[in-house]
Every structure is written in C-alpha cells, then in structure tokens.
Amino acid sequence: MTSFNNKGTALITGASTGIGAIYADRLARRGHDLILVARNRVRLDTLARRLTDETGRSVQVFPADLGNPGNVATVEDLLRSDRTISVLVNNAGLGATAPLLESDVARMDEMIALNVSALTRLTYAVVPGLIERGGGTVINIGSIVGIAPEILNGVYGATKAYVLAFTRSLHHELADKGVRVQAVMPGATATEFWEVAGRPIEDLPSTIVMRADDMVDAALAGLDQGEVFTIPALPNIGDWVAYEEARKKLLPQLSLSEPAARYLASQAS
Ligand code: NAP
C-alpha cells in the first residue's frame, strides 16, 4: 500500500537482519517508504510484508550482493534514478575477529569491497540527487573499532576508520548543501555479526553487549539531536568532545616548512 509520503524513501543496505532490519522498522514508523537491500530475498520479503502490514508504508525489496561490483552498479542506478529517495543508510558490513596476520587476505579484500567500496559508491550515487532535491540524510554505520582498531581484526578496524574519515569529510563538504551525514559507532551489538565474524557473542561479557534495538534507537536519537558522530554506549559526551578538541589542536601544526626541533637535534648528534 502506497500512501502520501512527504518524508521520502529510505534505502537501507544490509536490511535483511540485525541493525539494518531495525533501521527499517524505525524509519517506516517515522513515515518513510523503504527500499531494502541485502542478499537474502526470503528474509527481505518477510520483513517487507510485516512492515507494510504494520505501518502501511510502501516497502520494496532489492536483492543484491554488495560485494559484487555489477550488483553495486544496479543499486547505484536506483539511487540516481529514484527521485523519492531522501535517506541512505549504509549499513551492510562484514567483520572479522581473527588477528590481522592470521586472516585470509581474500576475506580481507571482501570486507574492504563491502565496508568501504560499496559504501563509497552508493554515497557518490545518492548525494548529487539529494542536493538537487534540497537535502537528505546519509547514515553510515561505522564502529568503535574505527577509533580502536586493536580491539578486533585490524582490517575490519581500518575499514571502519575509513567510514569515520569519509563521513567527517562528507559533513565538511555537504553541511551547507542541506545534506546531513551521521557516522554511527556501535560497540558490541547483539546480532548475527559475531557468528559471521568468527566469535560467538556468548563469548563476550554481557556488560559490553547492547541490544540491537537499543543501539538503533540511541543512534536515531543522536541523529535527531544533530550529531555527526554517535557512539551509543559512551556515557559522557565530554570525553568525545575532548578527543575532537585534541584532534583540532593538531590540525594547524601538521604541515609546516621545517621539521620539528626534536628531529633537527637528533640529526646534529
Ligand atoms: P548482521 O546481523 O550480520 O547483518 C549484516 C547485514 O548485512 C545483513 O542484512 C546481511 O544480509 C547484509 N550483508 C552482508 N553481506 C552483504 C553483501 N555482500 N551484500 C549485501 N548485503 C550484505 O550484522 P549487524 O550487526 O547488523 O551489522 C550491521 C553493521 O553494523 C555492519 O556494518 C557492522 O560492521 C556494523 N557494526 C556491528 C556491530 C556488532 O557488534 N553487531 C558493532 C559495530 C558495528 P544478507 O546476508 O541477506 O546479505
């Protein structure tokens, strides 16, 4: 059932389960029509039926493997051509828990293709249309390992550091063009992610694992509060502000015509 929709359509990747499926639920209840992207058509269809029944929104499914460049191109075409799209949630992602040098490099490549390349291409595809239509929102699902890559597999952490840096620069370039961006940095969240990544979630202390519903609701509250970076678990926002201030203090000192005195001193000795 399609109904009057002035919030536009949200395209969510990795929407068949976990965090993406909860974004689908919440964004439908906020009045968005949906396009759900993932590989598992049966799961997508089941979710689409439920959300259409419960919310009355129009919910389309678009099965695609975002690790496959040809499939990514079809989603890019959709993002360029569907003028109802107002929100992109770049959520599909793959993790790993094995140490960097004990991991299969082909699997690392798959992770980079999904977590970095697909996210980048889909963002490039959607942004010009959002600007032309007067604005929109891009939500990128990062991770706390983007600032703490030593916690899990290092390539996984590096892909999420990319999400943070990319989102920061998107915000820098798009804030005055009406396009909002947000990087969400979840800690451990109870989904199938851990099974796929190689460590059962039961192995983690329950004190560090958040329910996926709570994580998404907090992330959307952060979006409503205008945050560009949201760390759902971080108790004191002042700690993030201090981290950002330390980063900003470095900026004017990072590129200068002379090496720092400490290096000149060691050359002389
Ligand atoms: P999940 O339950 O494993 O769900 C991953 C989703 O991505 C599924 O819908 C899966 O659907 C889809 N997906 C995987 N590979 C895909 C591909 N090649 N093409 C298209 N879709 C694909 O994991 P999750 O916890 O919800 O993870 C969502 C995001 O949160 C990821 O970016 C992850 O890095 C991030 N994150 C998770 C945690 C955590 O602890 N769970 C913490 C921090 C960040 P199909 O299998 O149907 O394709």
Q: Is residue 239 part of a domain?
A: yes
Question: Best of 71, 111, 189 to mutate for ligand 1, by most ligand atoms within 8 A of CB?
Answer: 189
Q: Is residue 172 part of a domain?
A: yes
Q: Is residue 229 part of a domain?
A: yes
Q: Which of 23, 156, 162, 263 is catalytic?
A: 156
- List the CATH number of the domain containing 104: 3.40.50.720
Phi and psi, residue 4, nearest 5°: -55, 130
Q: Which atom of ligand 1 is nearest to the CA of 15?
A: 9
156 is an active site residue: yes
Averaged over successive runs of 10 residues, the pLDDT of the chain (269 residues) comes to: 70 98 98 98 98 98 98 98 98 94 94 98 98 98 97 96 98 97 98 92 95 98 98 98 98 97 81
Ligand 1 mean position, distance from CA 77 (Å): 22
How many domains, the chain?
A: 1
CA distance 66 to 219: 24
Q: Is residue 3 part of a domain?
A: no
HSE at residue 235, side-chain half, CA atoms within 13 A, is 1
β-strand pairing of 33-38 with 59-63: parallel
Q: Is residue 1 part of a domain?
A: no
Q: Which atom of ligand 1 is nearest to the CA of 209?
A: 40
Q: Is residue 58 part of a domain?
A: yes
pLDDT of amino acid 6: 76
Which residues are CB-contacts of 119 (< 8 A; sequence separation ≥ 6)?
90, 140, 163, 166
Residue ranges making up the domain that contains 188: 9-268
Residue 252's alpha-carbon distances to 3, 147, 248, 249, 256, in angstroms, are 51, 21, 8, 7, 9
Go through the chain and tell me how many residues it has: 269
CA proximity to 27, closest of 119, 121, 81, 91: 91
Q: Is residue 2 part of a domain?
A: no
Q: Is residue 43 part of a domain?
A: yes
H helix count then E strand count, the chain = 10, 9
